[in-house]
């Protein structure tokens, strides 16, 4: 652990990442100490700041690469030169040797590459933080891609996760940071990351997503070849699309970018609210656009290693919160946060609503194209800090994905209005969930269970009544038994006192002469004490 921490510190120093933060933005004390920091003696070199950041993240491993991938989608929050460099992390991570890839394929499939494929390209098509992809052809003539997990990646990720746990436990000791629930967030992140190391799970996620959007004009998901898919190797249909980040190519084929951006938002909300199963790693390296019918653009999604879902309660609260924001009903937002337990107990709704209004009103008064959902979230988190709002680990993936979607949409169509695009969908979903249609769907969903239980209702009702009568009889019997015991104790108490008094008097009579001789020799305090003891013994 200490070696890993040393490596991170060395990497930060080697690439002079400290220079990315302007000194005037630092607190005065740190700014003064920074003047004497030894790291300033290391030359910055000829690389641009964006390239230095990218190289540092690449050298630190998959967890840091994924962080860079997420940042690359927020071009509205980053300088262009840094965003351009970080974009290369999406599919241009340095690959591992092709011969190593062939050997891993043969071990996983239990056969030679020639037996499994008619052709296999040793040079990878793309290389990402956790796996890389090779083009291949099946003996049937179908073009496929072969995804292979990086060798040794499991050990590196465990070291990084262990380091994150150390930081999280340290943060938990700080009262201000405790509300962020850092250990729980790292635990969820750990489960998500290690799920990506099992390509059987990714293949299952891909099949589920494909089934959810079967014949949909919005999204296409390539098919999985299950006979050639194992834990560290996955074979998937090869797609022919344009990377969503290649804006020039999309414009060249006449793609309707406004519709493409709006469809991305619709796909996201469809996955979250209709299917409750959403692709949670939607950075541009995993998204393509079909070359067919550019006026009605269709997305193609790959790499379904990270997916998310919500409980029914979280779905409802999230939808109602978003709609309340759209209506600028801040009191409703406050009440929903209190009801869901997302803020501290005892929070007063009117005070919380006033604080939210102070943050959101200046933002929402801007033109719609200038409103960033990321800015709204950041402002809300800062405001909710004094109301002891805790981070909800189950919503972290959703927040990350929504920020990715907004960043991608603004990259495609800078005037994208996320609010007006999402609002009609959410209103329609709420009507369907709460209205007659939603009731009918719920009834249909539970119809088999109800059909099995309804004939048994008379028997169950009779059994419930019988159980209730039996419980009443048992309660009455226990009450009568307790009453009888209490009466016996009350009757036995005087008798016990008489027995004790009689025993004392008999003992006194038998021992009177010796006691009298003893008493004549004792001082009066001893005699008083003995008398009190005899009296208490007889009374008790």
Question: Could you give the residue numbers annotated as active site?
Answer: 281
**Structural contact between residues 161 and 186, judged by C-beta atoms closer than 8 angstroms:** yes
Q: What one-character-per-residue DSSP string does 431-443 give?
A: HHHHSHHHHHHHH
Three-state DSSP at 288 gives: strand
> How far from 140 is each of 118, 136, 221, 233, CA to CA, in Å?
8, 12, 21, 19
**Structural contact between residues 326 and 423, judged by C-beta atoms closer than 8 angstroms:** yes
Tell me the chain's radius of gyration from C-alpha atoms: 36
Closest among 314, 312, 310, 286 to 300, alpha carbons compared: 286
**Structural contact between residues 70 and 404, judged by C-beta atoms closer than 8 angstroms:** yes
Q: What does the DSSP 8-state code read for residue 92? A: B
Q: Rounded to an integer, what distance in angstroms lies between the CA atom of residue 496 and that of residue 247? A: 99
Using left for φ > 0, alpha for ψ between -120 and 50, and beta otherwise, residue 12 falls in alpha
> Which is it for the CA torsion 267, 269, 272, 276, positive or negative?
negative
CA within 13 Å, CB half, 103 = 7
Q: Rounded to an integer, what distance in angstroms lies between the CA atom of residue 19 and that of residue 33? A: 15
Beta bridge partners of 350: none
Q: Rounded to an integer, what distance in angstroms lies between the CA atom of residue 485 and that of residue 468? A: 26
Which run of H or E residues covers position 401? Answer: helix 393-412
Q: Rounded to an integer, what distance in angstroms lies between the CA atom of residue 303 and that of residue 373? A: 25
> How far from 411 is each of 73, 265, 365, 417, CA to CA, in Å?
8, 13, 23, 12
Q: Rounded to an integer, what distance in angstroms lies between the CA atom of residue 327 and that of residue 357? A: 12
Q: Rounded to an integer, what distance in angstroms lies between the CA atom of residue 27 and that of residue 37? A: 15
User: How far does CA 314 lie from the centroid of its chain?
Assistant: 12
User: How far does CA 523 lie from the centroid of its chain?
Assistant: 82
> How far from 95 is each of 302, 419, 451, CA to CA, in Å?
19, 40, 57
Q: Tokens for 167? A: 């930081």
Q: What one-character-per-residue DSSP string does 168-230 give?
A: HHHHHTSHHHHTT-HHHHHHHHHHHHHHTT-HHHHHHHHHHHHHHTTT-SSEE-PPB-GGG--
């Amino acid at each position: 652990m200490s070696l890993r921490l040393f490596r991170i510190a060395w990497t930060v120093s080697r690439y002079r990442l400290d220079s990315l933060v302007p000194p005037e933005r630092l607190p005065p004390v740190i700014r003064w100490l920074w003047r004497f920091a030894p790291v300033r003696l290391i030359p910055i070199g000829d690389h641009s700041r964006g390239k230095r950041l990218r190289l540092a993240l690449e050298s630190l491993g998959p967890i840091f690469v994924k962080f860079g991938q997420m940042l690359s989608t927020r071009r509205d929050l980053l300088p262009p030169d840094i965003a351009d460099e970080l974009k290369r992390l999406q599919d241009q991570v340095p690959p591992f040797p092709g011969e190593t890839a062939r050997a891993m394929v043969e071990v996983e499939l239990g056969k030679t590459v020639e037996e499994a494929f008619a052709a296999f390209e040793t040079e990878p098509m793309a290389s990402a933080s956790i796996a890389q992809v090779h083009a291949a052809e099946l003996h049937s003539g179908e073009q496929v891609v072969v995804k292979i997990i990086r060798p040794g990646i499991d050990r590196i990720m465990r070291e990084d996760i262990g380091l994150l746990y150390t930081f999280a436990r340290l943060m938990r000791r700080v009262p201000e940071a405790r509300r962020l629930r850092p250990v729980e967030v790292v635990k969820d992140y750990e489960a998500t990351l290690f799920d990506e190391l099992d390509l059987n799970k990714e293949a299952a996620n891909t099949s589920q997503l494909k089934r959810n959007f079967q014949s949909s004009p919005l999204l296409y998901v390539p098919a999985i070849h299950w006979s050639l898919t194992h834990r560290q190797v996955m074979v998937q249909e090869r797609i022919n699309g344009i990377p969503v980040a290649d804006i020039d190519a999309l414009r060249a084929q006449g793609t309707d970018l406004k519709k493409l951006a709006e469809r991305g938002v619709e796909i996201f909300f469809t996955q979250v609210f209709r299917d409750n199963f959403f692709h949670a790693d939607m950075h541009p390296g995993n998204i393509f656009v079909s070359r067919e019918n550019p006026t009605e653009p269709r997305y193609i999604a790959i790499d379904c290693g990270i997916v998310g879902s919500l409980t029914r309660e979280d779905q409802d609260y999230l939808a109602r919160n978003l709609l309340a924001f759209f209506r600028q009903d801040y009191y409703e937002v406050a009440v929903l946060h209190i009801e869901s337990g997302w803020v501290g107990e005892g929070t007063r709704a009117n005070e919380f609503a006033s604080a939210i209004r102070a943050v959101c009103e200046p933002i929402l008064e801007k033109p719609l194209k200038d409103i960033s959902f990321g800015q709204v979230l950041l402002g809300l988190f800062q405001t909710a800090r004094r109301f002891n709002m805790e981070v909800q680990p189950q919503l972290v993936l959703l927040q990350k994905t929504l920020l990715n979607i907004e960043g991608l949409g603004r990259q495609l169509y800078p005037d994208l209005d996320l609010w007006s695009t999402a609002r009609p969908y959410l209103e329609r979903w709420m009507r369907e969930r709460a209205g007659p249609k939603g009731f009918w769907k719920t009834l249909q969903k539970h119809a088999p269970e109800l059909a099995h239980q309804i004939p048994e209702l008379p028997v169950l009702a009779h059994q419930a009544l019988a159980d209730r009568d039996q419980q009443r009889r048992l309660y009455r019997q226990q009450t009568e038994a307790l009453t009888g015991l209490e009466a016996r104790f009350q009757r036995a108490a005087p008798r016990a006192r008489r027995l004790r008094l009689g025993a004392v008097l008999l003992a006194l009579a038998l021992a009177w002469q010796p006691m009298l001789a003893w008493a004549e020799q004792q001082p009066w305090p001893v005699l008083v004490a003995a008398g009190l003891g005899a009296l208490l013994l007889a009374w008790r």
